[in-house]
Amino acid sequence: MKSDSERRAAMVRRTIARRGIDAPLVLEAVGAVPRERFLPAALRAFAYDDAPVPIDAGQTMSQPYIVALMIQALGLEGGEKVLEIGTGSGYAAAVLARIARDVYTVERYAQLATKAADTLSTLGYENVHVLHADGTLGWPEHAPYDAIVVAAGGPGVPETLKSQLKVGGRLIIPVGAGRTAQQLVRVTRHSQHDYQQEHLAEVAFVPLVGAEGWAPNEHESVPSTPAHAASSTH
């Protein structure tokens, strides 16, 4: 049986690099993060399949190729301040953290935020900061950001997130008229009021729920308190 590190190396070669992901920083980061550690023991056998994996709160860990595609589309060169919306398991934040200086990640569901923060802290990702809040409103205390990535599909690009992007920065988000299928969009901010929008791929993400996203279902509560942080949020 192959080790997790062997399975990870094979995933990078077969399902990421062969499909056009060629940014060295992205390939190195994906190849270094132990994806299995972000899943419960019962699901770790699926960690390196090129498919989404279910996690708590009805959410999913995105397939490895999509994580790599979205991060490559940010055009990171290393040392940036990045905002992630939709922490989920914490896996994508860990990949980002191997490239960026600081990653600020916001999760709507308290149980996911707490679990992800604990996993990231255990694995030593001290430059990742986790907040339990409405991700559609970003994390204004640390804005502006060099890059923003949203791991849930919204009906449009939240204006609040656009306003928290630095001039010259890029925002990646799935956008669609329905809650189940979207276009992956890259928004580049050229000036205070000038934004360029590009369509990158067809994708399917869980809904982006919040004040500037989809309305919550009746059983969903509104986030209000921060989760245990993986590191200082100063």
Pairing of strands 128-132, 102-107: parallel
- Specify the 3-state DSSP secondary structure of 64: helix
Task: Say how far apart CA 176 and CA 168 lie, in whole Å.
Answer: 25
Distances (CA, A) of 147 to 37, 121, 172: 26, 23, 8
**Phi and psi (nearest 5°) for 99?**
-110, -50
**Residue tagged active-site, from 5, 62, 89, 191:** 62
Tally the C-alpha atoms within 13 A of residue 183's C-alpha that lie toward its C-beta.
12
Q: Exposure of 82 by Cβ count < 10 A (0-12 exposed, 13-18 middle, 19+ buried)?
A: buried
Q: For this structure, is 5 an active site residue?
A: no
User: Measured in Å, how far apart are the chain's first and last C-alpha atoms?
Assistant: 44
Paired strand residues for 131:
106
Known catalytic residues?
Answer: 62
